[in-house]
Every structure is written in structure tokens, then in C-alpha cells.
Amino acid sequence: MGVVIESEVWEPNQSVYIFIFISCFLSLFLLPYVSSVRTPNVFDLSSSFLFLRFQRNFLLLYSLSAVMEGVWSVFGEFELALHGVSREQLVAFLSVGFFAAFVLGPFLGILSDVIIVYHMLYEEVLDVQAQMERVLVLGQRKASIIFFMLHLFVGVWKRITMQPSAWVANICLSLATSIYAFSFETWMVIEHEKQGHRQDGLSEMFWLMTFFESASLIGSQVLVNWLIGVDAKSISNSSTAAILLAIVGAICIKKGWTDNSQAASFKEYRASFYTYVIGDRRIWLLALAQSCVHFAVTVFWILWAPTVVADGREVHLGLIYPCFLGARMLGSTAFPWFATGPMAFRAEDCLSCVFGVMGIAFSIVAYDYQEIGVLVMLFCIFQMCLGLVLPLLARMRTMYVPNELRGGMISLSLVPANAATFFFLVQDGYYRNIGNATIMGFAALGLIGAAGCMYLLKRLGKQPHQNSHKL
């Protein structure tokens, strides 16, 4: 008589979702009662009407952008497999995308800070100052419109072709992700300062951006699963959703995105960039830490699924994905506690500790084989720390980087991360010289190095706020 061995598909316990939800609620609900400093939030009706309108309009647009970013990633690999793409081809497509971000990303950030209206060079301008104020005005607005146009192009491309070019799609989506990394934050900070809102509201916006981004990524998974249903052939419905979202986002920017009046020319911008970014060791340390975090996050999203399903283990990946994003949401709600709440720490000290925890979590995964539950727990710890790190780094950028140079600085800080990702993809995908554990080990070392950067940044001391140095 034969013995039938039933294979069990691992999935998280439902109590994990309940724990994350209750923890997020308690973190947000209890903070005003235990903090000696007023800590308003997006649901606080006592805030000024203008600030609430600005905050909620921006978060709505930012959440829409995050949903678009998530739509392509939910079934990206599965969609390529339906078109007969092999693992080697998939690695090649990813490599091309990261190479495009490595080469073109910095120029997108700098051009978003300064976009010259070229007809000014050929026309006689009576009011030069009024024209110059449009130089930086057009930057972030056009960059964000380009973000939506790239998503719109990819969506239309996939709808009209039965075998869409993954080369074109990956390049466009990689460039869109690069724009997403700096454009919305830069515009929000400049507009926040222009409208004269309170400074504590800026820190509030940073953690709310991380919170709503994570919630929107979960929403994108729900949306795509609902559109596709049980029929894998209907995966093209996600392209239709991306097209509609891109059109709505572009219209919102066109109708409701106000201009950021800043005066600059290429010559002035270049001089200021060399003085306040390239020539400042503090910003170099901050940029290096940002690059290490970006590389670790990229490694996580590429390798978490292969790591969990190693050795043929059967896992319900679709139920683990929300756990990670829920953990990031929980981490973002901890930001007010450590920034302005009863456990307030200096940003550099907090970042050093959190970077260390993230590095340890990654090093454990890289060093030793773990059970699925342990792996998921370590990855959740990583994501929880990330939810705290992202708003802290944004706050540090506000402290050290002039607003009008912010886009260029962020885009340049992503260059080492994109270059490292491209290198490891080529080495692992083609030459098989480096294993997944080794790549995670390098990411862990980078996070430890980021902690060292924050320590050195603290030793150098805070310089005067550079936003006083106008271009």
C-alpha cells in the first residue's frame, strides 16, 4: 500500500495581520496623550484648513503614484513567464533597467531642479526676473508628469502588443521609479516652505508619506488580484488600470499642481551644487547612507521570495507580501515617538541604531539557513526599521540639503546603489560567481557602513541650515 505525503503550503497566521493593525492604531492613538509636544496628524481637524488641504491633496496624489508603482510589481515576473521569458532573460531585463537608472537617473534629478525655458535664449525678455522664476517652477512639475507619461506609455504598449518588449518596458519603468524617488518629495518640501506651513508639519509629512506609500502598495496588490481574478489570461487588465491611473494622475498635476517660484540659471545652479553638495562632507556621508539603504531595499525585493522558497519549500507568497508592508507602516508610526515624542532622540543616533539592527537582520539571513517563520520575522524587522529610516533620512535631507538642490542630491545618491545592483545581477545571473547569500551579506555590510556614516556625521556636527543660501 502506497503512502501519500501531503505537502503543506506555509502561510502567515492571521493573528499577525491583527497584531500589525492594532499596533499601528495604538501607536497613532496614544502618542498625543503621552507626548509633551503637540503632535498633529492627518486626522487632526484643529490644524489650519490650508495645511490640511495641502497635506491631503499631496498624500492623495502620492498614494496614487505608489499604487501605479505597485501595479507592475505584483505580477511582473509571472507576466513575463506567460510570454515565455526565461530566468536568464529576466535577469537581463532587470540589468538593463538598473543600468538605465544608473546612467540617466542623475540627469533626471538635476534637470528636475533646473529646466531652462530655451526660448528665453532667443527672445528679448523685458521682465528677466519674472522669466527666471519659471526655471525651477517647471522642474518638479514636468518631472512628475513625465513619471505618469512613462507609466501611460508602458500601459498602452502592453495593451496594443501581444508580445510587448520587456526591454522597453523595464527601461521606462526604471526611469519612472527614479523620478518617483525624488520628484514628489522635492516638490512637497518646496511647496511646504513656500506656503509658510509649520515646520513640525514637514516632519509629519515625511512619515505619512511612508505610511501611505506602504498602504497603497498593499492596495495595488488587492487591485491587481481583483482585476485578474482566477483567469491568468486577464493579466492585461492591470495595464488598463495603470493607464487610467496615469491619466488621472497627470490631470491632477496639470489642474492642481501649483508652481514653485525659485530663481536660478544653469550657471548659478552648478555653482551652488558644487558648493553645498559636492563640496560638503556631511552631504557625502548622508548620500552614502541613503545609497546603502537603497541597495539593501533593492536586494530585499529581488531576493526575499527566492530565499523563502529555497529548497523547494511551498509558501503562499501573496500573503507574506502584506506582512512586510504592514511592518513598514508600523515602523513609520514610530517616527513621531522618536522624533518629537516622549522618546525623542537625535536623528543621527536613532539612524545609527536602526541601521545596525537592519544589518544584523540581513546578516543572519545571509549567514545561516533559517526556517520560513524565522525568515519572515527577520524580513519584517527589516521592513519595520525601514519604515522608521525613510522619514528620518528625509528629515536629515531637510537639515543639510538646500531645497532647490534636493532632487539632484537624491538622484546622485542612488547612483552607487544602482551600479552595485547592476554588477551583482550580472555576476549572479550570467557568470554565477556570486550567490544570493553573498549579495545579502554585502547589503548587510552596507547597512553597517551606513550606521558608521551617521556616527561620523554626528561627529562633524550640524552646519547652518543651507536653505538660507538661495540660488
The answer to whether 372 touches 308, Cβ cutoff 8 Å, is yes
158: cell is 502592453
What is the pLDDT confidence band of residue 429, given thresholds at 50, 70 and 90? low
Tell me whether residue 36 is in a domain: no
Strand partners, 315: 10
- Of residues 200 and 279, the one with the higher pLDDT is 279
Q: What is the mean pLDDT of the chain?
A: 79
Angle at 254 between CA 250 and CA 260, to 5 degrees: 120
Tell me whether residue 349 is in a domain: yes
Q: Within 13 Å of residue 332, how many CA atoms lie on the same side as its CB? A: 25
Tell me whether residue 23 is in a domain: no
What does the pLDDT look like over 258-306, one tens digit per residue? 554 444 566 777 777 888 888 888 999 999 999 999 999 999 998 898 8
Instruction: Give the separation between CA 150 and CA 172, rounded to whole angstroms.
Output: 6
Summarize the chain as % helix, strand, coil (round to 5).
80, 0, 20
What is the pLDDT confidence band of residue 71, given thresholds at 50, 70 and 90? confident
Instruction: Give the separation between CA 136 and CA 134, rounded to whole angstroms.
Output: 6
**Burial label, 25 (beta-carbon count in 10 A; 0-12, 13-18, 19+):** exposed
Give the total number of structural domains in the chain: 1
Look up residue 11 and give its DSSP letter: -
Tell me whether residue 2 is in a domain: no
User: Mean per-residue pLDDT for 458-467?
Assistant: 62
Residue 237 sits in a domain of what CATH number? 1.20.1250.20
The answer to whether 212 touches 64, Cβ cutoff 8 Å, is no
In this prediction, residue 142 carries a pLDDT of 78
Instruction: Give the separation between CA 47 and CA 200, rounded to whole angstroms.
Output: 12
DSSP line for 195-226: TT--HHHHHHHHHHHHHHHHHHHHHHHHHHHH
The answer to whether 283 touches 441, Cβ cutoff 8 Å, is no
Tell me whether residue 444 is in a domain: yes
Tell me whether residue 87 is in a domain: yes
Tell me whether residue 217 is in a domain: yes
Instruction: Give the separation between CA 312 and CA 385, rounded to whole angstroms.
Output: 29
In this prediction, residue 66 carries a pLDDT of 93
Q: Within 13 Å of residue 183, how many CA atoms lie on the same side as its CB? A: 31
The answer to whether 169 touches 294, Cβ cutoff 8 Å, is no
Can you give the residue range of the structural domain that contains 139? 47-468
Tell me whether residue 33 is in a domain: no
The answer to whether 141 touches 187, Cβ cutoff 8 Å, is yes
| CA R_g for the chain | 23
What does the pLDDT look like over 6-56, one tens digit per residue? 457 888 888 888 999 999 988 888 876 665 555 445 445 445 677 788 888
Instruction: Give the separation between CA 163 and CA 82, rounded to whole angstroms.
Output: 10
What does the pLDDT look like over 84-98, one tens digit per residue? 677 777 788 888 889
- Of residues 334 and 128, the one with the higher pLDDT is 334
- Of residues 462 and 133, the one with the higher pLDDT is 462
3-state secondary structure of 313: coil
